[in-house]
Amino acid sequence: MESSNYSAISQINTSIQSNAFSEHTIQLIDNYINDILNGRTNLDRFNLPEHAGLCTAGAPLIGAYIVCNYARTSLEPSRDAGTSQTSSPTNWEIDAKQEKMVQQWAETKKLWFPHAEQYITTTFGPKIAEGAEAKVYYKDGCTSVVKARTSIYSTLGKAMEAIALHNTLFPETQMSVIGFTRDSDGLFRCILTQPYIGCKRLATKKEIDEMVLAKGFHDNYGGQGVNYIGNRLYLEDMHPANVFIDILTDKPTCIDCIVKFIAK
């Protein structure tokens, strides 16, 4: 599987480099997405539970993540002329190229919404909340909310990873990506759906500690912080405004957080 996985990625990368997002390139990416969704291959970055989280995030996220990986690897460290030193791309450079290329891919796939707010409010309901991370839309009686979620990560690729990892840890509020846009301020946003959770009240620190402990995390700030660490992942921003007591289950439920791989 590793050999065929490398071959598929190599073909995709070569086709993007030579033909951009031609019909052939799109077909190669679509075939690889289908292989991932159908369990015929996987992405080495994720273990099996995380891979399931990736799949529940949907084909648009998987495709965008593949494009992000190409954008990052295409910015190989370059050797400075006349010196023996190499210069690695900055996160800003990686992020800028990832956003540009994902937009190109999404436009070709008709997953780009240039007037997203109008589309979302007409299709899914009015905006009910807005924070630093997301604009939230909801129509009374629906079982899901729609979010236009901006990246608070160093690169767009890491933001894609975070959605898959959220789904792994919190399947009761799994995110499913349906498209991409830029808002009126020029910020790149993922458009996603997420189950609607009725909030009985905000969770307490003790309830959050117990919930994440059961998932293999512990508070790494002397028991006083909102950030947690596990064997593979960091879990951050777990403050009560992001963790509700579900009115139906009476259990703490994470709506949103920051989750990322521990750098090795």
CATH of the domain at 142: 3.30.200.20
Q: How many CB atoms lie within 10 A of CB 96?
A: 17
DSSP state of 173: G
Same domain, 10 and 103: yes
Distance, CA of 163 to CA of 178 (rounded, Å): 13
Give the three-class secondary structure for 153: coil
Beta-bridged to residue 130, according to DSSP, are: 135
Q: How many CB atoms lie within 10 A of CB 48?
A: 8
Closest to 135 (Cα-Cα) out of 95, 204, 184:
184
Contact call for residues 190 and 163 (beta carbons, < 8 A): yes
Pairing mode, strands 188-195 and 176-182: antiparallel
For the chain, how many residues are written? 264
| Whether residue 11 is found in the same domain as residue 104 | yes
Which residues span the domain enclosing 94?
A: 2-78+85-108
DSSP state of 240: G
Assess whether 7 and 102 both reside in one domain: yes
Range 190-216 average pLDDT: 95
Q: Are 126 and 155 in contact (CB under 8 A)?
A: no
Which of 195, 225, 251 is at the close of a domain?
Answer: 195
Examine the domain organization and report whether 208 and 160 are in the same domain: no
Q: Same structural domain for residues 125 and 190?
A: yes
Q: What is the pLDDT of residue 1?
A: 45
Average pLDDT over residues 37-50: 93
**One domain for residues 9 and 33:** yes
Last-in-domain residue among 140, 164, 195: 195
- Report pLDDT for 5: 75
Q: Could you read off the pLDDT of 122-161 as tens digits, one per residue? A: 999 999 998 878 999 999 999 999 999 998 899 999 999 9
Whole-angstrom distance, CA of residue 156 vs CA of residue 188: 9
112 secondary structure, DSSP code = B
pLDDT above 70: percentage of residues in the chain: 94
The answer to whether residues 93 and 21 belong to one domain is: yes
HSE on the CB side for 45, CA within 13 Å? 19
> For residue 151, what pLDDT is reported?
86
**pLDDT at position 83 over 70:** no
In percent, the amount of the chain with pLDDT more than 90 equals: 80
> Do residue 204 and residue 248 come from a single domain?
yes
**Same domain for 99 and 10?**
yes
Considering the domain architecture, whether residues 66 and 11 belong to the same structural domain is answered as yes
pLDDT bin (cut points 50, 70, 90) of residue 181 is very high
Nearest-angstrom CA–CA distance, 78 and 71: 15
pTM: 0.92
Same domain as 37, residue 97:
yes
Question: Mean pLDDT, the chain, as a whole number?
Answer: 91
- 152 and 183 housed in the same domain: yes
Give the number of domains in the chain: 3
